[in-house]
Amino acid sequence: MSNDLEKLKALLQEDVPPPRAKAKTAALQAGMAAFEKNSENFQGSPEAARPIHNRPENGRGFWKGTKVMFEKLSPRGLMLGGASFATIAVAIFATQNINLSAPAPRGFESNAPVLGGLGEIDAEAGSLPAPQTIQAEMVQEAAPEMENDTVAQIQKSETPSIVDLMRESTMPRSADSSVAANEPPRVRRSMAATAPAMIEGFAIGAAANIRSIAADNPASPPQAIPGDQFSGEAVSAIKVAKDEPVSTFSIDVDTASYSVMRRSLLNGYLPDPDAVRTEELINYFDYNYASPQTVEQPFAPQTTLMPTPWNDDTLLLHIGIQGYEIPLEDRPPVNLVFLIDTSGSMSAPDKLPLLIQSFRLLLTSLNEADTVAIVTYAGSAGMALEPTSASEAYKILSALNHLSAGGSTAGQAGLEQAYGLAQSMMDEGETSRVILATDGDFNVGMRSPEAMQQYIEDKRESGVYLSILGFGQGNYNDALMQTLAQNGNGIAAYIDTLAEAQKLLVDQIGGALFTIAQDVKIQVEFNPSEVAEYRLIGYETRALAREDFNNDAVDAGDIGAGTQVTALYEITPVGSPAISVDPLRYGEAAPLPEGNGELAFLKLRYKLPGENTSNLITTPVLNAPVDQATLDVIFSTAVASFGQLLRGDTRMGEWSFDDVLRLAQQGKGDDPLGYRAEFIRLVRLAETAQ
């Protein structure tokens, strides 16, 4: 024993040699072997003997794992690997403090926007640095003495895409990293996820200890933050074609409902049924519909008749409309007034900080011919930036960076100043648009949706359009957002992540800013000799009276450049056992008209921008169901069925989320940006949501 102590003292007096790759490898292999020898009992195994049950005392799991690893090494090996082992410890410490979703610093060195700590975007291309580049910089910063071969190994490790990182980071982090008690759980991703080989030996023991603590202190199921306001409409009723053969509605291309639904599911709970508008879920996605050839006739409707997936005794009429895409070189200059809510309710990380980052992205879509101004409102309205060329990005970004939240919400004063400024900026042939960014809390000025609606209706006659970007939760007034957008000739969107801002304000900027048609209405007349009953899926808030279709004074939805619109009808054929409405006992049994092979007749009416007289497009729908629908039709049908399930529609029979999942996977097709794959993940989450 004494000889061993003497040897140990002698070893301690020797100079520590530089770190060696072999020593590090030995340390890692020993640690991993100590914990992986019972790999069949790891997490997910039903046996009680798996490691998570062998940690009766808090804190012992980590140290026990460390002890086992040290026992595998000789004293000499410990000394030779000491420096390398210290490097690993530094890296572990760094991974626990690096958060990729942290907001960007208020300062900046270039005109390129910063995406929540994920690196700078190229101002011209809007591209992001490769994930491996970001990862390598983090590794070098955490452990600069690490050997090159180890860094190379980490650089080659599998990493998620930037789009996935932005989606999973459901909101930017504030400077204070503490999480309030009422905040929903948020996904964090550290370097530990990208370098598992480096820290697995320690992570397993630490994770076991955390699970032991969690088992003793189970968390309550996730719940929605109260305070959001949704004014849901009842699900569209079944119509008897003989009594009411005509269906009329206004086109809608808003997408706010999809983002609200996604936020709910990512936070672990099903969305409020009143927050689900099925048509907004369907129209969230891009579809490969036939493209119109001229801006004078900006639409090319196409129809598909197919069996209904959830009911063998009905048919599904799918209507797809593609809007004309304006070439970038032909688009007119645009004047934008950012009307930004800076009231106290906007201080949360998923509100004003995310809003600022979103507008940074928007600037990458503008050119030197476009003009930007900023109006804020909190207590009283004020101009934070006078009309400025979009080429002066530094000046615009500086104004955005100096915004802060505080005070009450003077919504009326802000709208009045923004509209006045937008109108003064507009020259002949140009477009002016107010983009209102808010959580929807207007508590000073016009408070009722009716008063707001009347004000916006009066102002839209000046030629200034209004679009709405909603942010945050716990105070979100969806009902007001819909009222403002539907009456301001603009869109209503909800931004819950930077990925959503990228999709809306960069990838689909034409549809958000440039209108190709106004007051777009659809009317479908069903042939009673072929159709017994029908129902329109979604569009409950867009229903119009039959006589409104030909009345050019009646306002309807506006369509942006390149936008697709989809509508679906479930149809019950004459003689089908699915007929749900009995004939009248005492009603006059008028004979059905003779069939002509037409199931329905589709009419689409629209106005070109700035015109007061509408144009008409018509097309018959033949009673000829297809054997095989296109992938776009299949996928949009899956989304439609998902929306109906979330709304609690009672006409879905035995259809389930599993059925939605299978149908969506069948119709996924080409998905370069991953939006359809994300939808499939959301369906899986809905199966397990509280």
Higher pLDDT, residue 293 or 645: 645
Distance separating alpha carbons of residues 221 and 115, to the nearest angstrom: 31
Distance separating alpha carbons of residues 319 and 70, to the nearest angstrom: 67
Please give the average per-residue pLDDT across 104-122, as a whole number. 35
Tell me the backbone φ, ψ of residue 187, rounded to 5 degrees: -85, 130
pLDDT class for 345, splitting at 50, 70, 90?
Answer: confident
Check residue 23 and give its pLDDT: 64
Distance separating alpha carbons of residues 658 and 651, to the nearest angstrom: 17
Higher pLDDT, residue 640 or 591: 640
Give the tokens for residue 350. Answer: 């998923």
Look-up of token digits 């996904």: 187
Check residue 122 and give its pLDDT: 39
Check residue 6 and give its pLDDT: 74
Please give the average per-residue pLDDT across 217-221, as a whole number. 56
447 has pLDDT over 80? no
Check residue 264 and give its pLDDT: 95
Check residue 339 and give its pLDDT: 94
Please give the average per-residue pLDDT across 145-169, as a whole number. 40
Strands 615-622 and 334-341: unpaired
What residue type is assigned to position 178 of the chain?
S
CB 679 within 8 A of CB 639: yes
CB 638 within 8 A of CB 566: no
Higher pLDDT, residue 463 or 126: 463
Distance separating alpha carbons of residues 499 and 521, to the nearest angstrom: 31
How many helices and strands (H and E) does the chain possess? 21, 16
Residues in contact with 519: Cβ distance below 8 Å, sequence separation at least 6, in sequence order:
552, 554, 555, 556, 557, 558, 605, 606, 607, 614
pLDDT class for 592, splitting at 50, 70, 90?
Answer: low
Higher pLDDT, residue 586 or 411: 586
End-to-end CA distance of the chain: 61
Nearest Cα to 372, choosing from 95, 565, 111?
111
668 has pLDDT over 90? yes
The listed CATH number (3.40.50.410, 3.10.110.10, 3.30.70.260, 3.40.430.10) that belongs to domain 332-513:
3.40.50.410
pLDDT class for 90, splitting at 50, 70, 90?
Answer: very low
Check residue 18 and give its pLDDT: 62
3-class state of residue 574 by DSSP: coil
Please give the average per-residue pLDDT across 137-154, as a whole number. 40
Check residue 623 and give its pLDDT: 93
Tell me which long-range contacts 499-504 makes (C-beta under 8 A, separation of at least 24).
499/163, 499/166, 499/167, 500/259, 501/354, 501/357, 501/358, 501/361, 501/362, 502/126, 502/163, 502/166, 502/361, 503/673, 503/675, 504/255, 504/469
CB 548 within 8 A of CB 521: yes
69 has pLDDT over 70? no
Instruction: Indicate the helix (H) or strand (E) that contains 207.
Output: helix 196-216
pLDDT class for 201, splitting at 50, 70, 90?
Answer: very low
Give 235-274 pLDDT, tens digit per residue.
999 999 999 999 999 998 899 999 999 999 999 999 999 9
Check residue 75 and give its pLDDT: 46
Distance separating alpha carbons of residues 634 and 334, to the nearest angstrom: 37
Check residue 593 and give its pLDDT: 65
User: In this structure, how many other beta carbons lie within 10 angstroms of the beta carbon of residue 87?
Assistant: 21
Higher pLDDT, residue 41 or 343: 343
Nearest Cα to 567, choosing from 577, 557, 554?
557
41 has pLDDT over 90? no
Residues in contact with 276: Cβ distance below 8 Å, sequence separation at least 6, in sequence order:
232, 257, 261, 643, 646, 647
Look-up of token digits 């969107």: 493
pLDDT class for 654, splitting at 50, 70, 90?
Answer: very high
Computed over every residue of the chain, the mean pLDDT equals: 75
Please give the average per-residue pLDDT across 459-475, as a whole number. 88
683 has pLDDT over 60? yes
| Edge-to-edge strand list for the sheet holding 531-537 | 239-240, 531-537, 564-573, 311-322, 302-308
Give the tokens for residue 675. Answer: 């939006």
What stretch(es) of the chain map to CATH 3.40.50.410? 332-513
Please give the average per-residue pLDDT across 493-519, as a whole number. 92
Q: Please state which of the ranges 158-167, 400-409, 566-575 shows the lowest mean pLDDT.
A: 158-167
pLDDT class for 102, splitting at 50, 70, 90?
Answer: very low
Q: What percent of the chain has pLDDT over 70?
A: 65
Nearest Cα to 103, choosing from 401, 398, 390?
401
Strand partners for 336: 372, 433
Check residue 660 and give its pLDDT: 98
Q: Give ∠ CA 96-98-100 in degrees, rounded to 5.
A: 130
Strand partners for 436: 339, 468
Please give the average per-residue pLDDT across 492-507, as a whole number. 94
Q: Please state which of the ranges 33-47, 158-172, 510-524, 610-624 shows the lowest mean pLDDT.
A: 158-172
Please give the average per-residue pLDDT across 537-550, as a whole number. 95
Please give the average per-residue pLDDT across 404-431, as a whole number. 83
Check residue 448 and give its pLDDT: 64
**Structure letter (DSSP) for residue 238:** P
Distance separating alpha carbons of residues 95 and 138, to the nearest angstrom: 9
